[in-house]
Amino acid sequence: MTEEPNEAGETDKTDPQTAIDSVAGNRDDRVYEHNAGDEQEGIPFVGAGPGNPRLLTVAGRELLADADLVVHAGSLVNSELLEEYCDDAETVSSIGKDLEELIPLMRDAYEAGDTVVRLHSGDPAIYGAALEQMDALEHEGVPTYIVPGVTSAFAASATMRTQLTLNEVANHVAFTRPQGKTLDEDEDHISEFVGMGDVTTCIYLGTHAVSETMDRLLEDGHDPETPVAAIYHASWPDEDVIEGTIATIGEKLEDAGYRASAMVVIGDAVGGEDYERSFLYGDWANRGSDSTDGTQEADD
């Protein structure tokens, strides 16, 4: 798309790809100047959390309370959160808007003196497409930074009353998505993760493809009795938990009619069973139990 120059001879919109390419290989000095959670200058990219307004971070809540404009991720952000924390701000959904529309919207509001917040669902670091927006804004001279949120895999773990890692059951966690429009077949590693045995595999953005994914796992020879849970709208008022196995979860999910917004978790940690007591609160924790002041004594 070609932009017509304004009266100053400048185009109103920067090509986002140009902005992305311009920062390649350059480490920003702010990496060494700020910690996550610091108040910073610019537009914050805030993780809204999985849905429940109470799972928004304190930093996120404070930023929303002071905002004049909140650009949010549409229906992926619970409307109750917007009503509770964004009552005094103008709210604009980003759904249906491309970078060429979003960047000038946020840039112009910021340059006009408004306090702008970009509100992503979950955590911006997980399938949020935040960095391309941040790079484009930075290219326009607008500083940005990230405020972490609670990702839906953690909300699903809390709902299931288990851990994603369990001693002697699951030593690793994989955040992934299934093949489709944005992921080629050779980039889909779900089968590899499941095949490792001690990995809890958390599948984002793939409710529509669960049956096909499970069929591929069966074709690859994985145990059909491997536990699987699909947590629909984790932490939302209409949250639903569907439990099954690689062999059964696809049909169960289709019967429930859920096509989006479900976190699918595969692995033995789903049931929270057969794990071993950790060293943390066992022998390791009692190494200094003979110390009279309750402190751990150093080895001679």
Give the pLDDT of residue 187.
81
Give the pLDDT mean for 6-13.
46
Is pLDDT at 183 greater than 80 in this prediction? no
Assigned token pair, 225 = 């009795």
Is 138 found in the same domain as 32? Answer: yes
Average pLDDT over residues 73-96: 95
Q: Is residue 299 part of a domain?
A: no
45 and 101 assigned to the same domain:
yes
Which structural domain range is residue 249 located in?
151-269
Same domain for 89 and 171:
no
Indicate if 167 and 227 belong to the same structural domain: yes
Residue 17: is its pLDDT beyond 80? no
pLDDT in tens, 257-283: 887 789 999 999 999 888 888 777 776
The reply to whether 167 and 221 lie within a common domain is: yes
CATH of the domain at 260: 3.30.950.10
> Looking at residue 4, what is its pLDDT?
44
Torsion-angle region of residue 247: left (phi > 0), alpha (psi -120 to 50) or beta? Answer: alpha
Of all helices (H) and strands (E), which one includes residue 166? none
Same domain, 30 and 116: yes
For the chain, first and last CA: distance in Å?
71
Q: Is 91 helix (H, G, I), strand (E, B) or coil?
A: strand
Count: domains in the chain: 2
Query: The whole model's pTM is what?
Result: 0.84
Residues 28, 40, single domain; the answer is yes
- Region 17-46 average pLDDT: 80
Residue 249 in contact with residue 226, Cβ under 8 Å?
no
The pLDDT of residue 288 is 59
- The tens digit of pLDDT for each residue in 191-211 reads 999 999 999 999 998 788 899
Residue 13 has pLDDT above 60, yes or no: no
Query: Does the residue 217 lie in any domain?
Result: yes
Confidence class for position 289, pLDDT limits 50, 70, 90? low
